[in-house]
Amino acid sequence: MIYMLDTADVNKIRRAYDLYPISGVTTNPTIISKEKSEFIKILKDIREVIGADTMLHVQALGIKAEDIIKEAEYLNKTIGGNLYIKIPVIPEGIKAMKLLKQRGVKITATAIFTADQALMAAMAGADYVAPYVNRIDNISGDGVGVVAEIRELFDIYGLDAKILAASFKNVQQVHNVALAGGHSVTVNPEIMDALLSHPLTDWSIDQFINDWGTVYGKDKLSSDVK
Ligand code: E4P
């Protein structure tokens, strides 16, 4: 399972990237807008925190293939590093994917709600496809089921494209996507913390610390005691 962080908050990225096995950061225009700061500066700050080798997925604006291509080239030139251009699965987006693939640009197909959209994006050259799990659930769909279908189709046709499941609102959705073979997930920092959190883990650690401290002294490490 590949974990990515779905945020443009540099401080939250710094903390989570330091703690967790995170392979990339994903953004979209809504996520970037929340930071209320200069667009390129936000991306450069993120790049500085995660380094050049870690994946950064940034969405191209525009709904015409020529605008999407212009955006992709501008972002690659300006941000650089291991950059994936997110492109929505609209007809002009699929055209842009085909053309950008020929130029060696890395592509994440986004705004995916059906397995057929994912399949066409993969055939057009997408490296990742991003189904929106919670948004599918919110319209009485089956977000995890869509992920499972995409995985089945990619396996049947031997496609190299990977799933980057997105739009999560709880840990159970992430858990079910992992079981469905979802390749990778992008989650906000709060869900990243929640994936690890368990009251009995905290309780057990408190008990270890108390029992140890009673005999060997509070805050002492094994290297401090005989
Ligand atoms: C990925 O980056 C998607 O754009 C994102 O996960 C959508 O999440 P939301 O449905 O919570 O807005």
Topology of the domain covering 2-190: TIM Barrel (3.20.20)
Contacts 24+ apart (CB under 8 A), 92-99: 92/63, 92/64, 92/65, 92/68, 93/63, 93/65, 93/68, 94/120, 94/121, 94/124, 95/65, 96/60, 96/65, 96/68, 96/69, 96/72, 97/121, 97/124, 97/125, 97/126, 98/124, 98/125, 99/65, 99/69
What are the extents of the domains in the chain? 2-190, 196-226
What are the tens digits of pLDDT across the range 137-167? 999 999 999 999 999 999 999 999 999 999 9
pLDDT at residue 226 above 90?
A: no
CA of 133 to the centre of ligand 1 (A): 9
pLDDT at residue 58 above 80?
A: yes
pLDDT at 126: 98
pLDDT at residue 127 above 90?
A: yes
Q: Is the CB of 130 under 6 A from ligand 1?
A: yes
Among 28, 32, 87, the mutation site with the greatest number of ligand 1 atoms within 8 A of its Cβ is: 28
pLDDT at residue 53 above 80?
A: yes
Nearest CA to ligand 1 atom 6: 167
Please state the rounded mean pLDDT for residues 104-114.
Answer: 98
Nearest CA to ligand 1 atom 4: 28
> For the whole model, what pTM was predicted?
0.96
Please state the rounded mean pLDDT for residues 4-23.
Answer: 98
Catalytic site residues?
A: 86
